[in-house]
Chains A and B, each alone.
Chain A
Amino acid sequence: MMGGITILESINRALADAMEADETVLILGEDVADPEDGGVLGVTKGLSTRFGDHRVRSTPIAEQAIVGAAIGVSLGGFKPVAEIMLMNFTTVAMDMIVNHAAKLRFMSGGQTNVPIVIRTMTGSGFANGGQHSDYLEAWFAHTAGIKVVAPSNPSDAYGLLRSAIDDPDPVIFIENLPTYFTKGEAPKSGHRVPIGKASVVREGSDVTIIAYAKMVQEAAAAVEALAGRGISAELIDLRSIAPWDRETVLASVKKTGLAIVVHEAVTPFGAGAEISSVIHENLFDTLKAPVRRLGAAFCPVPFSRPLEAAFAPDAAAIEAAAAKLLA
């Protein structure tokens, strides 16, 4: 798409607008302030200069310290957006995220809450190898008390981030590195995308394709190709993984009778399993065939170019899976 803005720019705008609108919004993370370039990819560029280094703080490379500080400062009345540079590094802070951020509201009987956003980046296709590219959304979606969102375009990135910052509970906001420079329609200032609402990207009648993050772009290409073969596919961008929009998904599958769930995380025990299971539980009689899951190969993300290219589903794989379901 020509014109418009990139996902990276829309995230920067959402952060700036949120900080402008609410002085309790803070940013912390490795390299996030301007003397450190506003992050290795410049997502937070300009913000410390504009809002002050007390509100935009670069941290040591210490993920437990980052998430712990975010939790504590939120208990003290602020709304921090903590950047964990890459999703694999959330593993270093799992105690803080899973045992504390996710549970403090419940364990305190509702006396305290943790309105933090953890922004993190990931995705294969950048030749970053096994420890810089994983999608780990299922780990967080499996933890009661955390919300997980993964936008696929600039407008949703802006709107979901604003909603995540507004949200009174912890939200993991997953950004896809290889699509940072994808351009799209510029969101209006203040635009919100509600957490838990999917969008029907394209209507269709033969098969439902459910995807999120970068896989929406791959699926969109597959839908085009399928149309050329006379197959009408409905594409749903889930946008939120936890909670996810059952109503939209079930309504679509009820209509088409066939479903494919696509994600970049490895297939076993992934979000696709949950979505597939819910569809089967609710629409067993309607389904024309079992729900198909398409995820990455069950291996760490490889470095070597042809291996990495074959690792995650792409448009051709999605197209082939849909055609096979309809055959």
Chain B
Amino acid sequence: MTNRTGPDAATLVSIYRRMALIKANDERSRKVIMTGRLVMPYYSPRGQEVIPSAVSANLNDSDYICTIYRGTHDMLAKGVPLKDLWAELAGRVTGTCKGKGGPMHITHPKSGVMVTTGIVGSSMPIANGLAWSSQLKGDGRVTVAYFGDGASNIGAFHEALNLASVWKLPVVFVCQNNEWGEHTAYAKATSAPRVADRAASYSMPGIRIDGNDVIETYAAARDAIERARAGGGPTLIEAMTYRFHGHIFGDADAYMNPERKQAAIAADPVPRFRGWLIEQGHADEADLAAMEAAIDAEIDAAIDYALASDFPDVAELGRDVFAAEAA
């Protein structure tokens, strides 16, 4: 085995930047909804910042991801521009999808975000196809499919893992196990004690990691992505995390055990990693504070831009249904 080193300071700080952006963006999202400035369905990724931030640090811009409705963190970590994203959340013509997709259907090929699906378990079969295109072209791209633990119970998960393994596709399946499938606890819905164990049925590596640990997540993602790029086939990563809020914004989350939730919030991975970065000398307080202030300003600007943008023309109803415009 080669003697491998962990991520360098610049990479660690770039991961933190993504995490800080996701956290700040989440806080602003709830505020914007609460103050009535914007109406949208919103699925908070708060608490799950580490996973896509550490995964994306191993991806190129041209690599693909497929994600789900609780995927704002995945999109931001992959590089979807804030302005375009917010304009889409606001249903404006300047949005990533001209306002026609909305929060649950973000597509932004320039940053590799190819599909955002509102259907649990649907990211994986499509990610396989993207990975197949890379395999055919030999373009070295890797596709990451993000999904939650609940998705591992739908047929598409099993069909997709099986096909990816048989065809040795350059795809990485990243399960963000936040312990909840909508309002139902993991153990009540999932027969396997660990999602990662399911990889054994499909003859691929299945690893469970602490998805709130940056170094561990980075290393697992790096190994899986390198393996996929080198033609070694797919990997299933089960990254353990916890959802700080209810399923959808406005959900009273009474079904969540308050002690468990408080413990997760107390162990918030974002400030924890921030403190560690300073402690290890990878960054200093002033630099991080300046970075966070810049992020806040960027989010403010994005929201202002989005809300000042025009709504799409009603004629858009007849466009993009097919290549040729409807009569």
Do A and B interact?
yes
Is residue B166 within 8 Å, beta carbon to beta carbon, of the partner chain? yes
With CB as the reference atom, state the residue of chain A lying closest to B161.
A65
Is residue A107 within 8 Å, beta carbon to beta carbon, of the partner chain? yes
Residues B126 and A68 in contact, CB atoms below 8 Å apart:
yes
Residues A69 and B128 in contact, CB atoms below 8 Å apart:
yes
Is residue B21 within 8 Å, beta carbon to beta carbon, of the partner chain? no
CB neighbours of B47 from chain A (8 A): none
Residues A113 and B323 in contact, CB atoms below 8 Å apart:
yes
- Distance (Å) between the CB of B134 and the closest chain A CB? 7
Residues B115 and A104 in contact, CB atoms below 8 Å apart:
yes
With CB as the reference atom, state the residue of chain A lying closest to B107.
A108
Q: Which of A12-20, A75-83, A130-138 has 4 or more CB atoms under 8 Å from chain B?
A: A75-83
CB neighbours of A169 from chain B (8 A): 322-323
Residues A72 and B128 in contact, CB atoms below 8 Å apart:
yes
Is residue A100 within 8 Å, beta carbon to beta carbon, of the partner chain? yes
| Interchain CB contact (< 8 A) of A60 among B64, B126, B143, B159 | B159
Q: Considering the chains assembled together, what is the distance between the CA atoms of A168 and B322 in angstroms?
A: 8
Q: Considering the chains assembled together, what is the distance between the CA atoms of A26 and B166 in angstroms?
A: 18
CB neighbours of B96 from chain A (8 A): 108-109, 111
CB neighbours of B128 from chain A (8 A): 65, 68-69, 72
Contact string, A74-111, partner B, CB cutoff 8 A, digits 1/0? 11111010000000000010011001100111111111
Is residue B130 within 8 Å, beta carbon to beta carbon, of the partner chain? yes
Contact string, B50-71, partner A, CB cutoff 8 A, digits 1/0? 0000000000000010100000
CB neighbours of A99 from chain B (8 A): 117-119, 122
Residues B100 and A95 in contact, CB atoms below 8 Å apart:
no
- Distance (Å) between the CB of A156 and the closest chain B CB? 21
Is residue B276 within 8 Å, beta carbon to beta carbon, of the partner chain? no
Residues B99 and A109 in contact, CB atoms below 8 Å apart:
yes
Most buried by A among B118, B126, B319: B126
CB neighbours of B127 from chain A (8 A): 72
Residues B163 and A71 in contact, CB atoms below 8 Å apart:
no
With CB as the reference atom, state the residue of chain B lying closest to A105.
B320
Is residue A144 within 8 Å, beta carbon to beta carbon, of the partner chain? yes
Residues A72 and B105 in contact, CB atoms below 8 Å apart:
no
Residues B132 and A95 in contact, CB atoms below 8 Å apart:
no
Q: Considering the chains assembled together, what is the distance between the CA atoms of A59 and B129 in angstroms?
A: 12
Is residue A261 within 8 Å, beta carbon to beta carbon, of the partner chain? no
Is residue A145 within 8 Å, beta carbon to beta carbon, of the partner chain? yes
| Interchain CB contact (< 8 A) of B129 among A73, A108, A144, A168 | A73
Q: Considering the chains assembled together, what is the distance between the CA atoms of A68 and B171 in angstroms?
A: 14
Is residue A32 within 8 Å, beta carbon to beta carbon, of the partner chain? no
Q: Quick one: given A68-B160, A76-B134, are A145 and B100 in contact (CB under 8 Å)?
A: no
Q: Quick one: given A60-B162, A104-B107, are A76 and B320 in contact (CB under 8 Å)?
A: no
CB neighbours of B137 from chain A (8 A): 76-77
Size category of the binding interface on chain B: 35 or more
CB neighbours of B198 from chain A (8 A): none
Contact string, B151-167, partner A, CB cutoff 8 A, digits 1/0? 00001100110110011
Is residue B136 within 8 Å, beta carbon to beta carbon, of the partner chain? yes
Q: Considering the chains assembled together, what is the distance between the CA atoms of A104 and B129 in angstroms?
A: 14
Q: Considering the chains assembled together, what is the distance between the CA atoms of A110 and B98 in angstroms?
A: 9
CB neighbours of B122 from chain A (8 A): 68, 95-96, 99-100
Residues B129 and A100 in contact, CB atoms below 8 Å apart:
no
CB neighbours of A177 from chain B (8 A): none
Contact string, B92-112, partner A, CB cutoff 8 A, digits 1/0? 000111111110010111000
Residues B100 and A109 in contact, CB atoms below 8 Å apart:
yes
CB neighbours of A145 from chain B (8 A): 321-322
Q: Considering the chains assembled together, what is the distance between the CA atoms of A248 and B319 in angstroms?
A: 25
Q: Considering the chains assembled together, what is the distance between the CA atoms of A62 and B163 in angstroms?
A: 9
Count of chain A to chain B residue pairs whose CB atoms are closer than 8 Å in the complex: 152
- Distance (Å) between the CB of A177 and the closest chain B CB? 25
With CB as the reference atom, state the residue of chain B lying closest to A24.
B136
With CB as the reference atom, state the residue of chain B lying closest to A167.
B323
| Interchain CB contact (< 8 A) of A69 among B64, B109, B125, B319 | B125
Residues A57 and B97 in contact, CB atoms below 8 Å apart:
no
- Distance (Å) between the CB of B40 and the closest chain A CB? 15
CB neighbours of A95 from chain B (8 A): 119, 122, 156
Is residue A54 within 8 Å, beta carbon to beta carbon, of the partner chain? yes
Is residue A112 within 8 Å, beta carbon to beta carbon, of the partner chain? yes
With CB as the reference atom, state the residue of chain B lying closest to A92.
B155
Q: Quick one: given A62-B162, A75-B130, are A108 and B101 in contact (CB under 8 Å)?
A: yes
- Distance (Å) between the CB of B28 and the closest chain A CB? 23
Is residue B114 within 8 Å, beta carbon to beta carbon, of the partner chain? yes
- Distance (Å) between the CB of B2 and the closest chain A CB? 31
| Interchain CB contact (< 8 A) of B101 among A54, A80, A109, A168 | A109
Residues A59 and B323 in contact, CB atoms below 8 Å apart:
no
Is residue A241 within 8 Å, beta carbon to beta carbon, of the partner chain? no
- Distance (Å) between the CB of A36 and the closest chain B CB? 13
Is residue A192 within 8 Å, beta carbon to beta carbon, of the partner chain? no
With CB as the reference atom, state the residue of chain A lying closest to B125.
A68
Residues facing A in B17-33 (CB within 8 A) are none
- Can you spell out 26 A-B residue pairs with CB atoms less than 8 angstroms apart? A57-B167, A63-B159, A65-B125, A68-B159, A71-B126, A71-B129, A72-B114, A72-B125, A72-B127, A72-B129, A72-B130, A75-B126, A75-B130, A76-B129, A76-B130, A76-B133, A78-B136, A99-B122, A100-B115, A100-B119, A105-B322, A107-B107, A108-B107, A109-B107, A109-B320, A145-B321
A residues neighboring B (CB under 8 Å) = 26, 54, 57, 59-60, 62-65, 67-78, 80, 92, 95-96, 99-100, 103-113, 144-145, 147, 167-169
B residues neighboring A (CB under 8 Å) = 64, 66, 95-102, 105, 107-109, 114-115, 117-119, 122, 124-134, 136-137, 143, 155-156, 159-160, 162-163, 166-167, 319-323
The 9 closest A-B pairs by CB, nearest first: A72-B129, A68-B125, A76-B133, A109-B98, A108-B107, A109-B97, A65-B159, A62-B159, A73-B129
If A73-B136, A75-B129 are given as contacts, then 8 extra A-B residue pairs at C-beta distance below 8 Å, sorted by A number, are A62-B162, A68-B128, A72-B128, A78-B133, A95-B119, A99-B119, A107-B102, A112-B114
